[in-house]
């Protein structure tokens, strides 16, 4: 594909750009903003959980009355904050960062392409995402306020509660954006690979993004259809999900047809469990790149890891109902989904084992990205192991809807995916901006983030095993929660600490863009194709000349060579 060579004004170059690198940066900066906003919501929730009924300090009197009156949060606002925190962090934060930012920027570079297959569609995908995010944000200020039915939008509550209409419309924007992006990723990977770049020579990051795109393509249309049906139930009087005889405000809801509330759960989780791997696979791809570079040896089990990515992609569509063990599902179906849940843990364990074996006999360089990649291994291990009791029906019945579930999910998504994504930022920053982030402040950010994250999420397992239920506005109303109430205070201060430790990262990131130490084009002495183009890459065309691939992606410490790395484009 020929790049666009005519001169561009500011809006064409930086706002409505068709350059995959600029679009990747747009996704990155936008997702950063939503991550910060989504995390600020949880700080308000944590204060309420630690000191229920007490005025929120410093900012309580400035909050709108839809959230707090006299500085004291009211229950409906707590529900809204919980629903919007989950929605924003997942659909507007982590997925756009892992797929939209890293995928857009580096997948074409790693396969030697000049751009994505459909540049205009790529631009359109970002702006649809951006508009969906704005709708989600401004729902706080609309009549009825933001959604109050959790990020899962369970019916019948979501049919009758205020704020959900805008949530559903915004979700259709976000789903459409992901579908457009996934088509682009698939076509680009299949059709625009450089000469010599066979499937067995693809970097694992490309494999991860390719499988992620397939997951999005097949899973999101189901949620799109389900969201449209739920929207019709809200505004058109249909009853796809409303059961016969539903009582609202002491009177039966006037609907005919008798829908099924469980239908929404099936449609939602058919998307939402593959969504977990949409969050995880890009992170695993990033860890693969950093580990191979940091150990100075080929990644152990390249074919096994790529095969496990594919296996996860298939099996992730066969486990959704393990979220519904307490819904009254037939025992035979529970056994089926319990079995598939145990099977899908096998490829995840295989990937983690390959990562650990990659460390054996390695000459490890403890660079800043490597610290994040190494930390991903035990954190993801904790997240995976704590998920096993939730996959068995007998233990899930007890643990379901407790803080144990929240702890498990956050260890997978936050101390797992987010830690890897942060490592990816430090690793590829020189490629994006031609400069290096400050290592001292990077280590301050790393250690502070790791300690405070574990301080927030590990006590959730203790709370869950003690029977503390999730979504409680005031946990002290149940006497059995009083024994572990001090953990809520500890977790809330850790959450505040986590916010404080992001300040060095934010300052370091933006300062380094302009004043960071300039680096060579390949400062990590890496082997994959993105390091074969200038840093930052040339405007739009990426490479001075089209590269040719002669070898695999991780040829480090090859015997008989003068250097400990051989780039893919070296004959």
Give tens-digit pLDDT for 363-405. Answer: 899 999 999 999 999 999 999 999 999 999 999 999 999 999 9
Is residue 343 in some structural domain?
no
- Which residues face 248 on adjacent strands? 251
Is residue 151 in some structural domain?
no
Are 119 and 198 a contacting pair, CB within 8 Å? no
Domain extent, residue 85, equals 15-113+121-138+165-196
Q: What is the pLDDT of residue 538?
A: 84
Is residue 185 in some structural domain?
yes
Q: What is the pLDDT of residue 207?
A: 98
Dihedral, CA of residue 83, residue 84, residue 87 and residue 91, to nearest 10: 170
Q: What is the pLDDT of residue 161?
A: 85
Label residue 367 left, alpha or beta by phi (over 0 means left) and psi (-120 to 50 means alpha). Answer: beta
Q: What is the pLDDT of residue 1?
A: 44
Burial per residue of 520-539, b for 16 or more beta-carbon CB atoms within 10 angstroms, e otherwise: eebbbebbbbbbbbebebee
Is residue 130 in some structural domain?
yes
Token output for 380 = 């993801």
Is residue 133 in some structural domain?
yes
Q: What is the pLDDT of residue 22?
A: 95
Is residue 399 in some structural domain?
no
Is residue 315 in some structural domain?
no
Query: How far is Cα 83 from Cα 13, in angstroms, rounded to an integer?
Result: 36
The tens digit of pLDDT for each residue in 141-183 reads: 888 789 999 999 999 889 888 889 999 999 999 999 999 999 9
Q: What is the DSSP string of 220-243?
A: HHHHHHHHHHHHHHHHS---SSPP
Q: What is the pLDDT of residue 249?
A: 65
Token output for 54 = 């007490």
Q: Which residues of the chain have pLDDT under 70?
A: 1-7, 245, 247-252, 254, 256
Helix 302-315 / helix 261-295 crossing angle, nearest 10 deg: 170
In terms of Cα–Cα distance, which of 207, 354, 350, 366 is closest to 295?
A: 366
**pTM of the entire structure?**
0.95
Whether a cis peptide bond, with omega within 30° of 0, leads into 156 is: yes
The mean pLDDT value of the chain amounts to: 92
Number of domain units in the chain: 1
Task: Count the Cβ atoms, other than its own, within 10 Å of residue 363.
Answer: 11
Query: How far is Cα 97 from Cα 104, in angstroms, rounded to an integer?
Result: 10
252 phi/psi in degrees, rounded to 5: -65, 140
């Amino acid at each position: 594909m020929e790049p666009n060579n005519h001169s561009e004004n500011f809006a064409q170059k930086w706002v409505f750009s068709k350059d995959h690198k600029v679009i990747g940066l747009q996704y990155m900066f936008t997702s950063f903003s939503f991550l910060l906003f989504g995390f600020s919501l949880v700080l308000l929730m944590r204060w309420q959980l630690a000191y229920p009924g007490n005025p929120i300090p410093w900012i309580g009197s400035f909050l709108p009355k839809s959230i707090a009156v006299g500085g004291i949060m009211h229950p409906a606002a707590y529900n809204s904050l919980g629903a919007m925190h989950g929605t924003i962090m997942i659909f507007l934060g982590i997925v756009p960062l892992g797929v939209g930012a890293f995928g857009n920027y580096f997948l074409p570079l790693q396969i030697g392409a000049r751009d994505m297959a459909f540049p205009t569609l790529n631009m359109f995908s970002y702006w649809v995402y951006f508009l969906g995010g704005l709708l989600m944000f401004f729902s706080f200020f609309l009549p009825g306020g933001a959604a109050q039915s959790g990020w899962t939008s369970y019916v019948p509550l979501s049919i009758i509660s205020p704020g959900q209409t805008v949530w559903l419309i915004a979700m259709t924007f976000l789903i459409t954006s992901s579908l457009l992006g996934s088509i682009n990723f698939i076509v680009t990977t299949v059709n625009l690979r450089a000469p010599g770049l066979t499937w067995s020579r693809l970097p694992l990051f490309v494999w991860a993004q390719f499988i992620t795109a397939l997951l999005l393509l097949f899973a999101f249309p189901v949620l799109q259809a389900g969201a449209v049906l739920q929207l019709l139930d809200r505004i058109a009087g249909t009853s796809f999900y409303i059961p016969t005889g539903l009582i609202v405000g002491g009177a039966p809801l006037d609907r005919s047809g008798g829908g099924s509330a469980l239908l929404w759960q099936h449609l939602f989780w058919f998307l939402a469990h593959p969504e977990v791997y949409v969050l995880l696979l890009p992170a695993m791809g990033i860890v693969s790149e950093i580990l191979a570079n940091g150990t100075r040896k080929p990644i152990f089990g390249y074919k096994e890891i790529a095969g496990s990515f594919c296996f996860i992609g298939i099996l992730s569509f066969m486990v959704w109902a393990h979220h519904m063990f307490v819904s009254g599902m037939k025992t035979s179906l529970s056994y089926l989904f319990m079995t598939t849940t145990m099977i899908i843990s096998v490829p995840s364990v295989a990937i983690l084992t390959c990562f650990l074996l990659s460390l054996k006999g390695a000459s490890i360089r403890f660079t800043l990205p490597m610290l994040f990649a190494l930390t991903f291994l035990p954190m993801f291990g904790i997240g995976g192991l704590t998920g096993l009791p939730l996959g068995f029906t007998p233990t899930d019945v007890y643990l379901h809807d407790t803080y144990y579930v929240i702890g498990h999910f956050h260890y997978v998504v936050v101390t797992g995916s987010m830690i890897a994504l942060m490592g990816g930022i430090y690793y590829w920053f020189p490629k994006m901006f031609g400069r290096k982030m400050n290592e001292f402040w990077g280590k301050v950010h790393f250690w502070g983030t790791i300690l405070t994250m574990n301080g927030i999420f590990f006590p959730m397992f203790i709370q869950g095993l003690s029977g503390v239920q999730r979504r409680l506005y005031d946990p002290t109303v149940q006497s059995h929660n009083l024994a572990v109430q001090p953990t809520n205070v500890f977790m809330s201060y850790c959450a505040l600490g986590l916010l404080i430790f992001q300040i060095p990262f934010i300052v370091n990131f933006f300062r380094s863009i302009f004043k960071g130490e300039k680096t060579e084009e390949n400062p990590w002495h890496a082997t994959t194709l993105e390091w074969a183009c200038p840093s930052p890459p040339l405007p739009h065309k990426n490479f001075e000349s089209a590269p040719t691939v002669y070898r695999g992606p991780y040829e480090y410490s090859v015997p008989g060579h003068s250097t400990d790395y051989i780039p893919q484009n070296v004959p």
